[in-house]
Structure 1
Amino acid sequence: MIAELKENYGYLFEDNLLIEINNSGTFKEIPEGFQLIDIGDYIKSMPLLISGAIKIMREDDKGDELLLYFIERGDTCAMTLSCCMGKKKSEIRAIAETPTKLIMIPIEKMSEWMGKYKSWQNFILQSYHDRMSELLEAIDTIAFLNMDERLLKYLRDKAMVNHDDLIHVTHQNIAFDLHTSRVVISRLLKTLENKGKIILNRNSIKLLDL
């Protein structure tokens, strides 16, 4: 694990911190679709991604979900950090978008390293900033973009985190993520195909307009 840590975080953290992460963290490999954190869970550790991507979802009072943002290699989740530090129940659901490798850091180490390592403090503060920017972007997307524009942005984001312009997803799963109906998604996807932005296949979408 130390080799992967140095490869992905060596430019951020000093060797002593990397050794502590290696000694204190728990390495996990999770498959695509695995639910890492659910709403209402007490969070006892935070994820530090080595590879792959995780999507962060929010749920309304009716149980409908909305995609907030993705976290990728070199990232952690600000919502998780907030719950860890405040010892509160999770307000998000975290699901593996792709097969993912990560290290789970115990919450007691987070505050210890904040005072001990400047690089860790900077990393946590930057993570808060990055996730806040993504949350604001998600709000802007919902408030100011039409559904067809939201759909195209969603497809581009998925292509980016998967590093593949062929997106394996059903119309129903897109509808869940965007908090709308499958009928609306199917109609808009057909419109995007007619405009030459995508090619529709069975349970996959080829994105042409990156």
Structure 2
Amino acid sequence: MDWISRFIGLASLEAPIRDILTARGVIVAVPKDTVIFGPGKAPENLLLLLEGTVRVQQISDQGREIVLYRVHAGESCVLTTACLLAYEDYSAEGIAETDVQAVAIPRTVFDDLISQSKTFRQFVFSAYSRRITDLFMVIEEVAFHRVDIRLAQRLLELAGKDQVINATHQQMAAELGTAREVISRQLQEFHRRGWVSQTRGAIKVTDVAGLTGLAQSAT
């Protein structure tokens, strides 16, 4: 299986490095809802996603969750990269949000290629820098942006073609790094305005224009 071409930055790898990756990389399948890694565990592999989505989230001492980012097909996990480089344990958890297929690159191979191949090193650090920028945006949103605006933006981002988001109030609170009660109150207000309707475990966007107007009011 020629999986290397699926990742921007790996297509130009030197032939010997490509051979090492294809020979030593192992394709793994992970079922939906599997906890792939968690706090206190050391990374054993760099995972390059071929299919599916992994949600990376932090849990506070009080049990509050915040979604830091998602890893999609064609991407790697920046937290795993950081832990591999620093020889540290994970400080957050990664959960398979869907069924996942990935290539597992063993730590020993990762260490060797980081030192041997400029192209592989650039691939790793380019992905790392892009995700760090995303994390700074998460921090800025949590610290400075209004919850109603952030909620409107996230509902529009997560809505499928049928305009339905299959998520509980607790899950939406984790998306935005706030309390479930805050999300419940805000969704009640959105419902009052006719922007959303709610059923158990799902939220339906009923007025895209209304939500978009609020979402864009921050700009």
- Bin of the TM-score, shorter chain as denominator length: 0.7 to 0.9
Q: Which moved more, 1:185-194 or 1:14-23?
A: 14-23
Give distance in 2, aligned partners of 1:8 and 1:164: 29
Query: Equivalent residue for 1:79?
Result: 79
Give distance in 1, aligned partners of 2:194 and 2:116: 54
Q: Describe the superposition over 1:8-51 as per-residue Cα deviations: whole angstroms up to 9, x where unpaired.
A: 22773247344432321222222222110101101111211111
Query: Equivalent residue for 2:95?
Result: 95
Query: Equivalent residue for 1:147?
Result: 147
Query: Equivalent residue for 2:21?
Result: 21
Amino acid at match of 1:178: L
Query: What count of residue pairs does the alignment treat as equivalent?
Result: 206
On the 8 A contact 2:7/2:75 being kept in 1, the answer is no
Q: Percent identity?
A: 26
Query: Equivalent residue for 1:202?
Result: 200
Distance 1:105 1:6, change over 3 A: closer
Q: Are 1:134 and 2:134 matched, yes or no? A: yes
Distance 1:115 1:100, change over 3 A: same
Q: TM-score of the superposition, structure 2-length normalised?
A: 0.81
Q: TM-score of the superposition, structure 1-length normalised?
A: 0.84
Query: Equivalent residue for 2:178?
Result: 180
- Stretches of structure 1 that go unaligned for 5 or more consecutive residues are none
Give distance in 2, aligned partners of 1:197 and 1:103: 41
- Give the counterpart of 1:192 among 183, 190, 193: 190
Give distance in 1, aligned partners of 2:135 and 2:44: 23
